[in-house]
Structure 1
Amino acid sequence: MSTSYEVKIWDLRRKLSGKTPSYVVRWKVGTKEKSKTFKTKALAESFLSDLRQAAKKGEPFELVTGLPISMAKPADSGPTFFDFARSYMAARWVHSAARTRETMTYALLSLVPVLTKDLRGRPDDEELRAVLRDYAFLPDKRRGELRPEQKAAFAWLEAASLPLANLLEPAVSRSALDAVALRFDGEPAAANTVRRKRAVLHHMMESAVELKKLPGNPLHAVKWKPPKATGAVDPRTVVNPVQVRALLDAVSQVGRTRGPRMVAMFACMYYAALRPEEASGLRRQNCDLPTDGWGLVTLEKARPQANKRWTNSGETHDERGLKHRAKDDTREIPIPPVLVVILREHIEAYGAEKDGRLFRTSKGRPFSSSAYSAVWQEARRLAFPVEQVASPLAARPYDLRHAAVSLWLNAGVPPTEVAQRAGHGVDVLLRVYAKCIEGQRARANGQITTALES
């Protein structure tokens, strides 16, 4: 456990918040400043006296909690990490979207098997993860019966899981952080994956502090940096309008009905910059499609895809509000005549589902991400030469949205308007698409040349 004998304790400070005063005790352990607020002066003076007496006796103070050893919480008390992880998931389940539940679970699949004692009879990690994923982290009504070997794995986890308070030891916290940086096969995980899993661990520790299961967030005492993740769109993925037309034509040639049913969906991702889950939720009543000129799409809902075990409905698609917006908020997107024509032709050919949904299979089911991704890859092979097929150019359907936003920005549409149509904040928009805004370098070079020649 990391401790220090370098302790500095300041005098009591009175703080007035509204009409009620409070009393703040401030001290420093090593280089870390600590403070604790009390409602009464007597409680604050008692705590301050305890700190001073411990420092006078020469007790070491913990760096994480700031408390002397005699006042620190014993490491073997409180819930185990596994127990707290299960209660954390149960508390977050109702308020989380399906994909968030999935992200939290997969972070914990990396953490729980690592934060265990070295007990005999350890099942292999794949068996432990299966028990966690399919049983331990699901609500009671979603759980099935465990097989005998799964019961043994579950019992082993309950017995072997480290106490949650052990994470106050920096070596244990570091092992947790190192675990989220790896894939299940032991290889380094992608930077964005590491950041998502680390965020889950951090929020979990903050919840433990809030619930008074830990005196402080143990991650704050560990010097650990996640890998850098690029948040900007790669310009090499951005297609131009001519290439998009070739791709949409190629999509129409894939399969007997599957490709033709997806043309308008992919067109919405490009001409209206819809996210795939927004296109999945698009309804006929959301579309104003005049016979001439620009139309309008008013987005109300999205239908993101996730594994059935995480959704509320038990289906692969749950209906949700729009990303980054209030529950019942909408987003209006003017659409160009070319998309109006494509949508009108799609509705004439395939109609709409009873609830108005436009894009679905011949049996009325939403397209899965694997289905439309397979069609997209086949369309790339039909539309592009070999060297472009091997490149990142429009490698994913989502790249159509990136191409749309890049086109709008380069056409001179004000960033505020682009952000409104795309459902971004302006700051995020400019950061994500900074590398896709053309003409800035030549303009800057001209300005510098003028300055040098003056």
Structure 2
Amino acid sequence: MSTTYDVKLGYVQQRSNRSAPTYIARWRVAGKERSKSFRTKGLANAFISDLRQATKVGEEFDLATGLPVSKRARQPSGPSLLQFAQAYLLRRWNSTAPRTRETDAYALLSLVPELVTDAPQRPTAAELREVLRIHALLPEKRRADLTTAQAVTMSWLERASLPLTALEEAQVLRKALDAISITFSGTPAAANTVRRKRAILHHLLEHAVEERLFNSNPLDKIKRRVPKPVALVDPRTVVNPAQARQLLDAVPKVGRKRGPRLKTLFACVYYAALRPEEAADLRLANCTLPDAGWGLIVLEKARPQGTKRWTNSGETHESRNLKHRADKETREIPIPPVLVAMLREHITEYGTAADGRVFHTGTGGTYSSSAHSYVWQEARKLALTPARFASSLAARPYDLRHAAVSLWLNAGVPAVEVAKRAGHSVDVLLRVYAKCVDGQQEHINGKINEALNE
């Protein structure tokens, strides 16, 4: 076997003189031109990235094949699961929200480390997940530089990752389903988590069908019960109006700055059923706040919190379109006088951020979800009895939104109007809040009696 360290990495070239475009990865080994064809640009880029990683760890290249020695012995037909997972994420990057990118990657963190060969000197699962999280599952420009130990882990994973085509085998797919059914600590995963990860696996395999790597989705052939998700709001989490007021009055008593600044944000979640990320991006221009009577909020954007490596801007918070809404689509919510007064007072006291946001830190930033949670839990301690504090009653700030929607439904507001204000479809609204609609049994029973006695 003849090997060399003389390697010069090239580029990816698109060739479109066929029925479907082909992408050619080019590089040189000991001065000799090398190339390899791929069906997608993502796969070609992933291959070049693999070669670059091999040069970083000082791996020798085989003169006969032009590949790193570790790859020469294993050349399956088609990409490995790792390579295909990288291409899958890159293909979806520009069309998905940061949280979706992170959710996709989170599912792959469960799958990729488990679907490997029994190669010696296997790193720990945590070490494999780390190199995937900070390096392998990100676009090349966002990848962190690996330490020597992490580079060795990455090299092992590249060698050991199973061919994607191995997922046609039932036992391999069942191993994948086992992997997404447990948490990283080894405990059973929640039903919603399992269903979400299974959906991502199914979509990835659908992508492989599109690329003609499979004739049909192999997951469709596996007979395995999918856990039933929890989709209903628990009525025990829903506060009544008096409890909501007590909680909101307790918020300003938490700390010198955070509590007072967050009271009206939480009030927007309760009185207008805003999602916390919608309240976080509320601008003065979105608000009509008359001196008396009802006002109006016209929502344009939300400001969800994400992990910097997955956001477009590289910042923790960034403004984006409303959930389940097209870009530039708005949502109008009439707001009661009590919230109008609170917003007017808040803006008078704290002003707005440079970009017009109503809710901001003293330096113009955005409060994190952990800050929201801390202030809320402290307010619960102050406002609730020990027994109720230990219960699920208003356990999260988001539960104020559930309380708002439940209140509207029980007040007799038509479901279509409630759905419009809350940003739901009517179907989802009635399904999710089915257990929270009460207080109408006697009225309904009376109508049934009337019908029976006709």
> Who is 2:413 aligned against?
413
Report the Cα offset of residue 441 of structure 1. Answer: 3.8
> Who is 1:347 aligned against?
347
Q: Distance in 1 between matches of 2:430 and 2:180?
A: 30
Report the Cα offset of residue 331 of structure 1. Answer: 0.5
> Who is 2:142 aligned against?
142
Question: Taking structure 1 as reference, are residues 135 and 250 closer, same or farther at Cα in structure 2, changes over 3 Å only?
Answer: same
SS in 1 for 2:253: coil
Once the two structures are superposed, the pairs formed by residues 71-90 of structure 1 within 5 Å of their partners are 76-90=76-90
Q: Distance in 1 between matches of 2:94 and 2:180?
A: 25
State yes or no: 1:329 paired with 2:335.
Answer: no
Q: Distance in 2 between matches of 1:396 and 1:323?
A: 19
Report the Cα offset of residue 448 of structure 1. Answer: 6.6
SS in 2 for 1:334: strand
Verify the 8 A CA contact 2:282 2:357 in the aligned structure 1: yes
Q: Distance in 1 between matches of 2:314 and 2:262?
A: 25
Once the two structures are superposed, the pairs formed by residues 255-404 of structure 1 within 5 Å of their partners are 255-404=255-404
> Who is 1:129 aligned against?
129
> Who is 1:110 aligned against?
110
Q: Residue type matched to 2:138 in 1?
A: L
SS in 1 for 2:356: coil
Once the two structures are superposed, the pairs formed by residues 5-154 of structure 1 within 5 Å of their partners are 76-154=76-154
Verify the 8 A CA contact 1:296 1:335 in the aligned structure 2: yes
Verify the 8 A CA contact 2:209 2:215 in the aligned structure 1: yes
Once the two structures are superposed, the pairs formed by residues 122-271 of structure 1 within 5 Å of their partners are 122-271=122-271
Verify the 8 A CA contact 1:351 1:358 in the aligned structure 2: yes
Question: Taking structure 1 as reference, are residues 84 and 430 closer, same or farther at Cα in structure 2, changes over 3 Å only?
Answer: same
Q: Distance in 2 between matches of 1:340 and 1:375?
A: 23
Q: Residue type matched to 2:294 in 1?
A: W
Report the Cα offset of residue 442 of structure 1. Answer: 3.8
Q: Distance in 1 between matches of 2:97 and 2:280?
A: 16
1:111-135 Cα deviation digits (max 9, x unpaired): 0011111110100000000000000
Verify the 8 A CA contact 1:301 1:322 in the aligned structure 2: yes
Q: Residue type matched to 2:108 in 1?
A: L
The root-mean-square deviation of aligned C-alpha atoms, in Å, is 1.5
Q: Distance in 2 between matches of 1:447 and 1:246?
A: 37
Q: Residue type matched to 1:83 in 2?
A: Q
Verify the 8 A CA contact 1:76 1:166 in the aligned structure 2: no
Q: Distance in 1 between matches of 2:235 and 2:104?
A: 31
Verify the 8 A CA contact 1:297 1:333 in the aligned structure 2: yes
1:172-209 Cα deviation digits (max 9, x unpaired): 11111111111001101111111111111111010110
SS in 1 for 2:375: helix
Verify the 8 A CA contact 2:115 2:162 in the aligned structure 1: yes
SS in 2 for 1:297: strand
1:365-402 Cα deviation digits (max 9, x unpaired): 10100001000000000000011001110000000000
Q: Distance in 1 between matches of 2:183 and 2:119?
A: 24
SS in 1 for 2:256: coil
> Who is 2:63 aligned against?
none
Q: Distance in 1 between matches of 2:247 and 2:218?
A: 51
Question: Taking structure 1 as reference, are residues 212 and 385 closer, same or farther at Cα in structure 2, changes over 3 Å only?
Answer: same
> Who is 2:429 aligned against?
429
Report the Cα offset of residue 364 of structure 1. Answer: 1.0
Report the Cα offset of residue 439 of structure 1. Answer: 2.5
Q: Distance in 1 between matches of 2:433 and 2:211?
A: 40
Report the Cα offset of residue 144 of structure 1. Answer: 2.2
Q: Distance in 1 between matches of 2:246 and 2:105?
A: 40
Q: Distance in 2 between matches of 1:122 and 1:172?
A: 19
Report the Cα offset of residue 96 of structure 1. Answer: 1.0
Q: Distance in 1 between matches of 2:296 and 2:447?
A: 40
Q: Residue type matched to 2:139 in 1?
A: P
Paired residues in the alignment total 380
Report the Cα offset of residue 257 of structure 1. Answer: 1.3
Q: Distance in 2 between matches of 1:176 and 1:287?
A: 49
Q: Residue type matched to 1:165 in 2?
A: T
User: Structure 1: which 4+ aligned runs deviate by more than 3 Å?
Assistant: 440-454
Q: Distance in 2 between matches of 1:160 and 1:139?
A: 22
Q: Please give the TM-score of this superposition, normalised by the length of structure 2.
A: 0.82
SS in 2 for 1:252: helix
Q: Distance in 2 between matches of 1:197 and 1:331?
A: 31
Report the Cα offset of residue 260 of structure 1. Answer: 0.3
> Who is 1:65 aligned against?
none
Q: Residue type matched to 1:182 in 2?
A: I
Report the Cα offset of residue 444 of structure 1. Answer: 5.0
> Who is 2:17 aligned against?
none
SS in 1 for 2:188: coil
Q: Residue type matched to 2:240 in 1?
A: N
Q: Distance in 2 between matches of 1:245 and 1:384?
A: 12
Q: Residue type matched to 2:305 in 1?
A: Q
Report the Cα offset of residue 233 of structure 1. Answer: 0.4
Q: Distance in 2 between matches of 1:282 and 1:276?
A: 10
Q: Distance in 2 between matches of 1:257 and 1:426?
A: 39
Q: Distance in 1 between matches of 2:450 and 2:354?
A: 63
1:81-101 Cα deviation digits (max 9, x unpaired): 111001101111111111001
Q: Residue type matched to 1:325 in 2?
A: R
My pick for the range that moved more, 126-135 or 91-100, is 91-100
Question: Taking structure 1 as reference, are residues 327 and 452 closer, same or farther at Cα in structure 2, changes over 3 Å only?
Answer: closer
Verify the 8 A CA contact 2:354 2:364 in the aligned structure 1: no
Q: Distance in 2 between matches of 1:195 and 1:168?
A: 20
